[in-house]
Amino acid sequence: MSISKNIKTEDTGMEKHVPFISAKECATCGELSVTIQVGQNVIHPSTVEHSIKTITLYGKTKEGALKQLTLFQLGDENTVARVRTSVIKGTFTELIATSYCNLHGLWEGSLKI
Ligand SMILES: [Fe+2]
């Protein structure tokens, strides 16, 4: 069994799981400010019984290598499924994020930069 066959990329239900990545360029610092939110318009629930446990960000290099950039572990409840980090501008061609829901599994979203 391959883990890639178990990663979902499109939401179909009411609850939203796909990590939506946005990147804003800092004109003076050479960085991209990156926000990852689980659910673009409807944020994922955050309760003891049902929550996002991890959000991981990867960067795809110009040579095609995939590098893990950050791993966020979220709390069981009262945690908004949104995280922020920064990456060096010009290093990556694409950002890929995964989110893990304790009830609904592993999800993936990406952004070409
Ligand atoms: Fe869920």
Structure tokens at 16: 């939203």
Q: Is 3 helix (H, G, I), strand (E, B) or coil?
A: helix
Structure-token match 């499924």, residue found: 81
Task: Assess contact for 67 and 61: CB atoms under 8 A.
Answer: yes
Model confidence pLDDT, tens digit, residues 32-46: 999 999 998 899 999
Please state, in angstroms and rounded to a whole number, the distance separating the CA atoms of residues 57 and 71.
7
What pLDDT shows up at residue 12?
A: 82
pTM: 0.93
- Going along the chain from its start, the domains and CATH numbers come out as 3-112 (2.60.40.730)
Confidence of residue 24 (pLDDT cuts 50, 70, 90): very high
Centroid of ligand 1 to alpha carbon of 48 (angstroms): 12
> Which residues are in the CB-under-5-Å shell of ion ligand 1?
15, 101, 103-104
Structure-token match 């955050």, residue found: 46
Please state, in angstroms and rounded to a whole number, the distance separating the CA atoms of residues 73 and 87.
19
